[in-house]
Amino acid sequence: MTVTIKDVAKRANVAPSTVSRVIADSPRISEKTKQRVREAMKELGYHPNFIARSLASQMTQVIGIVMPSSADQALQNPFFPEVIRGISKAAHEKRYALQMSIGEKENDIYERVVEMLQGRRVDGVILLYSRQNDKLMKYLLKHGFPFVVIGKPHQKAEQVTHVDNDNVQAGKDAANWLIARGHERIAFVGGNPQYLVTVDRQTGYAAALQEAGLPYRPEYVVHAEFLQEGGQEAMKELLSLPEPPTGLVVADDLMALGILKTLDEMGLGVPEDVSIVSFNNTLLAEMSRPPLTSVDIGIFQLGYEAAKSLIEKITNLNEPIKRIIIPHRLVERGSCARR
C-alpha cells in the first residue's frame, strides 16, 4: 500500500540503500543514478517515512515548544504567537517540525515534557518561560537533553543556552524616556515577580531613578496580575497616593491595556495626566488608545535565534553554551507627554 524505499529501489534497479543515499543526497552517488532514482520516486509518489527514519537515525527532526502553564491567561499575550512564528521560521529553514506542550499546572507540563523527551518524540525543547526554581530545567540539565530558554534562567545561567534581551537596560531606557520628559514621580508596574523579566526591568527602572537622583519609593512598585482579582485595586491604590506618579513603566502591552482602562475609570487621561511606557511593542500597542510608546524587544528574533541555537545544539552536542542578547529599541507613540 504505502510505497517504500524498496519499491523505489526495484523500480530504479538499485538497492534500497542506494535510494536511502539519494534521499540524503549523498555525494557518493553518481548523478546518473540519482536522476533515475528520483524519477522512480516521482512515478511511484514516494514519500519518506519520518518515523522509520527517526528510529534508524535516532533523530526526530522535531523540536518541542514548552509553553508556560495555561492556568494563568498568559497564553493570551500576543508575545507567544510571535515567538512561535520566529521559532517556526528557523525550524522550517532546517526542516524541523514543531511539537507543542501546553499544560494547566506546572506539574502537568513537567510530565508531558519528560514524556516527550524520554519517548524520543523530540530532539530538544525550547522553554518559552523561565521561572524560579524550575523543576523541569533541573531535569533537562541532569539528563543532558538539548534545550534553550527564552528569557534568563534563574539558576545556572552559565550552564544554559538562552536567548534574552538586556532587560535591565530596557527597563532603564523606559524610565529614562520618562525622566528625559521631566517626570520625577515614576512608578513601575510589573507582572509576576516569579518571572525574571519582571525583576530585570524593575532593576533597570530603579537604576535609572538613582542615576537621575530621584528617590526610589517602594510604594511606587506594584506587581499587578491584571487578569486576576485585585489587580485593578492595586493600581487604584497606586494612583490614589498623596503624591501619585505621573509616569508609569509597565511590564507589557497587555498589562498596559488594562491600566489604560483603570486610568480611564478613574478619570485620568493618558498622556495628559499620566504617561506610560510599556514593553513588547505588539499589535496591541498600535491598536490601543492612545497608541503606546513601547519597547520593542524583537520577539520574532527571540524565537528565531532560540530555534537556531537549539538546532545547532542538537546537531552538535559539543556546541558551547551561549547567551544571545536580542537588541531592543523604544518605539515612540502617543502615550508619553512632557511634564
Partner DNA sequence: TTGTATGCGTTATCAG
Partner DNA sequence: CTGATAACGCATACAA
Summarize as ranges the residues that interact with DNA (CB under 7 A).
2, 4-6, 13-18, 20-21, 23-24, 26-30, 32-34, 46-49, 52-53, 55-58
Minimum distance from CB of 282 to DNA (Å)? 40
How far is it, in rounded angstroms, from Cα 336 to Cα 181?
8
How far is it, in rounded angstroms, from Cα 52 to Cα 5?
11
If the CB atoms of residues 17 and 159 are measured against DNA, the closer one turns out to be: 17
Question: Helix, strand, or coil here: 329?
Answer: strand
Residue 23 interacting entry, from a copy of itself, DNA, none, C-beta within 5 to 8 Å by type: DNA
Q: How far is CA 130 from CA 67, 192, 199, 232, in A?
A: 10, 12, 12, 26
Residue 20 interacting entry, from a copy of itself, DNA, none, C-beta within 5 to 8 Å by type: DNA
CB-CB contact of 250 with 261 (8 Å): no
| CB neighbour list of residue 135: distance below 8 Å, 6 or more residues apart | 106, 110
What are the residues facing 149 on neighbouring strands? 127, 162
Q: Of the candidates 6, 10, 42, 47, which one interacts with a copy of itself according to CB under 8 A? A: 47
Residue 98 interacting entry, from a copy of itself, DNA, none, C-beta within 5 to 8 Å by type: a copy of itself
In order, the DSSP letters of 190-208 are: ES-TTBHHHHHHHHHHHHH
Residue 324 interacting entry, from a copy of itself, DNA, none, C-beta within 5 to 8 Å by type: none
Minimum distance from CB of 246 to a copy of itself (Å)? 21
Burial of 331 (0-12, 13-18, 19+ CB in 10 A): middle
The dihedral through the CA atoms of 21, 25, 30, 35 has a sign that is positive
Minimum distance from CB of 2 to a copy of itself (Å)? 8
Minimum distance from CB of 120 to DNA (Å)? 7
Interface with a copy of itself: number of residues (CB under 8 A): 54
Interaction of residue 233 with a copy of itself, rule CB under 8 A: no
Minimum distance from CB of 49 to DNA (Å)? 3
| CB neighbour list of residue 34: distance below 8 Å, 6 or more residues apart | 22, 25
Site string for a copy of itself, 53-72 (x = CB under 8 A): -xx----x-x--x----x--
Minimum distance from CB of 184 to a copy of itself (Å)? 28
How far is it, in rounded angstroms, from Cα 261 to Cα 209?
26
Can you give the binding site for a copy of itself, defined by CB under 8 A? 47-52, 54-55, 60, 62, 65, 70, 73, 75-76, 78, 80-82, 84-85, 88, 92, 97-103, 108, 112, 114-116, 118-121, 226-227, 254, 257-258, 260-261, 264, 282-284, 287-289, 291
